[in-house]
Amino acid sequence: MRRSGPLVIVLLLATACARMGTALGPASASLVIRGDGGSVGVEVEIADEPAERARGLMGRTQLPEDRGMVFLFEEETTSAFWMKDTLIPLSIAFWGADGRIAAIVDMQPCRTDPCPRYSPGVPYLGAVEVNLGWFERNGVAIGDRVELRV
């Protein structure tokens, strides 16, 4: 029995290490948007797993001006976003397989059902949420190119 103690500790440590990727939350990267007016960057968390995409920015009371969250999909989708339990107003840009922004939508917090759903109206591969008005303040427009630097 005494010899099983170290084995149990090793197994617990191995389990903890295996879960660290999800326990620490989404990975992060730099997102650069290039357009006619130049380029602008934002540091983003990457939500590329279903649970991360479902959680999004729910429950956050603030988002630094130069931060956001990227939602990545393996295949083009037409899924809509909603703001249930999201406490801050956001803007979202959707881009397609060509890497160009196809739509920009402003979204308001929602605390009670039913919440509105926000969709670009076209298939997309990725989306980035930032503080409300960030795209306008930074001169980002439909047709600008998105580059994710991991």
Angle at 49 between CA 148 and CA 16, to 5 degrees: 110
User: CA distances (Å), 148 to each of 23, 42, 93, 110, in order?
Assistant: 23, 10, 14, 29
The structural domain count of the chain equals: 1
Determine, yes or no, domain membership for 56: yes
Tokens of 31: 């997102």
- pLDDT digit string, tens, across residues 41-55: 999 999 988 888 888
Determine, yes or no, domain membership for 131: yes
Domain that holds residue 85: 26-149
Helix (H, G, I), strand (E, B) or coil at 139: coil
- pLDDT digit string, tens, across residues 79-131: 999 999 999 999 999 999 999 999 999 999 998 889 999 999 999 999 999 99
- pLDDT digit string, tens, across residues 57-87: 888 989 999 999 999 999 999 999 999 999 9
Determine, yes or no, domain membership for 66: yes
Determine, yes or no, domain membership for 41: yes
Determine, yes or no, domain membership for 114: yes
What is the H or E stretch that residue 127 is in?
strand 124-131
Determine, yes or no, domain membership for 38: yes
CATH number of the domain residue 65 falls in: 2.60.120.1140
Determine, yes or no, domain membership for 16: no
Tokens of 142: 């439909």
Determine, yes or no, domain membership for 3: no
What pTM does this model have? 0.79
